[in-house]
Chain A
Amino acid sequence: MRQFARVGITLSLIAAIAATALAMVNAVTAPKIAAYELQVIQNALTEVSGGFALGDSDTETGDTSVSAVHALKDTDGSIAGYILQLNGVGYGGAMTIMASYLDTGEVIDARLLANAETPGLGKKAEVPAYMEKFHGTGGDTAVPQKKDALEKSDADSISGATVTFAGVAKSIAYGSDFVKSLGGK
């Protein structure tokens, strides 16, 4: 009995000391991490806006795949399109994708933000040029969601990371349909 108590107390003490140390480090790093994450989202919004001005934002979308909708405004103040913050699933689990669309659902641009994809393979989707294969799709032409729907050079660029591509493409296609359902409202 004493042996069990000794084991339990030792493990509890080690866990308590570890938790205290982590809480202290978290208190210092959490505000910096939050500020960095906000900056990343702001940068992504600017990068994918396609030259349009940012309008109102809505984080109450009622859709688990779309966590935020930001309106894009034309020079006359009318709605030109939307930027969606999309929740996708890749090889490493949850991914956040920021994608912009014209109000017809046509993709303007996109960026892969938070993700746990494999360095050297799926992580290549973070490079802005990766998203060029989606530009102009979603309107008259469908968003490519399979490797054989891509040009050869684009298909080569996703070799070894087709699950990441499928996750990104599925989210972007979903976003396109979501924008069409908004109907410029």
Chain B
Amino acid sequence: MATERMQVLTKGFFKENPVFIILLGLCPTLGVTTQVINGIGMGLSVIFVLVFSNIFISMLKNIIPNSVRIPSYIVIIAAFVTIVEMVMHAFAPSIYQALGIFLPLIVVNCIILGRAEAFANKNTVFDSFLDGVGMGVGFTMALTLIAFIREVFGAGTITLVPMGSFDGVIEIPLFYTYPVRVLTLAAGALLLMGYLKAFFEWNANRKRG
């Protein structure tokens, strides 16, 4: 039982990674990953929405009539996204500005609705919680990895949260002077996504033998 629960939690990290394996949520993945902090901010927002929407949908799965389950899921997901939006606008306005239109669009993020439909409405509240955490962490890891590569090679910086005298930006000497600019553009994001997808496919095939 414990092993099964561990699998529910960890499958989203690599084996069923929502970005690299299932290919869900690609618009925000490619859109916001110009800076590391944006990737982390978007990832944390999705973790919050995914975990709470999974919990509530699992709790209400026997109450919500089957004929209106999708509108009900959308109302629940939209409520949590709006809460994230308001809290982020009030307490982390710079990340709120940077995420822009992609933040409200979490409502229609395929990962959230996909996990509600494929997992939360068929499983227990605790398993749905674990699934939400696992998929959310897998999504955050993917965004952070893509953002890290794009920002380091494309801009020669790593942008984090400013703290005290630290302005939040770490400059990488060689790439700051000679950045690979294409990586910061949409075309570069698609190219990088293709290489990473190929790597993860190769790795998955290697493990399957």
Question: Which residues in A have some Cβ–Cβ distance to B below 8 Å?
Answer: 3, 6-7, 10-11, 14-15, 18, 21-22, 25-26, 28-30, 32-33, 36, 92, 115-121, 123, 126, 160
* Distance from B96 Cβ to chain A, minimum over Cβ atoms (Å): 9
Q: For the A-B complex with A117-B100, A160-B185 known, give 4 more contacts whose Cβ atoms are closer than 8 Å.
A: A3-B65, A10-B68, A11-B75, A120-B184
Complex alpha-carbon distance, A102 and B38, angstroms: 37
Q: A92-B100, A118-B31, A119-B31 are in contact. Are A29 and B89 (CB under 8 A)?
A: yes
Complex alpha-carbon distance, A3 and B65, angstroms: 9
* Distance from B151 Cβ to chain A, minimum over Cβ atoms (Å): 11
Q: Which residues of A contact B60 (CB under 8 A)?
A: 14
| Max chain A C-beta neighbours (<10 A), residue from B89, B91, B101 | B101
Q: Which residues of A contact B102 (CB under 8 A)?
A: 119
B67–A7 touching, CB < 8 Å = yes
- Choose among B34, B68, B79, B83 the residue that contacts A119 (Cβ–Cβ < 8 A): B34
Complex alpha-carbon distance, A92 and B34, angstroms: 18
Question: Which residues in B have some Cβ–Cβ distance to A below 8 Å?
Answer: 31-32, 34, 38, 60, 63-65, 67-68, 71-72, 75-76, 78-79, 82-83, 86-87, 89-91, 93, 97-102, 184-186
Residue of B nearest to A34 (CB): B90
Residue of B nearest to A17 (CB): B79
A120–B31 touching, CB < 8 Å = yes
B100–A116 touching, CB < 8 Å = yes
Q: Which residues of A contact B99 (CB under 8 A)?
A: 119
- Choose among A11, A21, A117 the residue that contacts B83 (Cβ–Cβ < 8 A): A21
Q: A6-B65, A10-B63, A14-B75 are in contact. Are A25 and B100 (CB under 8 A)?
A: no
Q: Which residues of A contact B184 (CB under 8 A)?
A: 120
Q: Which residues of B contact A32 (CB under 8 A)?
A: 90-91
Q: A117-B100, A118-B31 are in contact. Are A7 and B65 (CB under 8 A)?
A: yes
B75–A18 touching, CB < 8 Å = yes
Q: A33-B89, A36-B93 are in contact. Are A92 and B186 (CB under 8 A)?
A: no
Q: A10-B68, A36-B93 are in contact. Are A120 and B34 (CB under 8 A)?
A: yes
Q: Which residues of A contact B89 (CB under 8 A)?
A: 29, 33, 36
* Distance from B190 Cβ to chain A, minimum over Cβ atoms (Å): 12
Complex alpha-carbon distance, A121 and B33, angstroms: 12
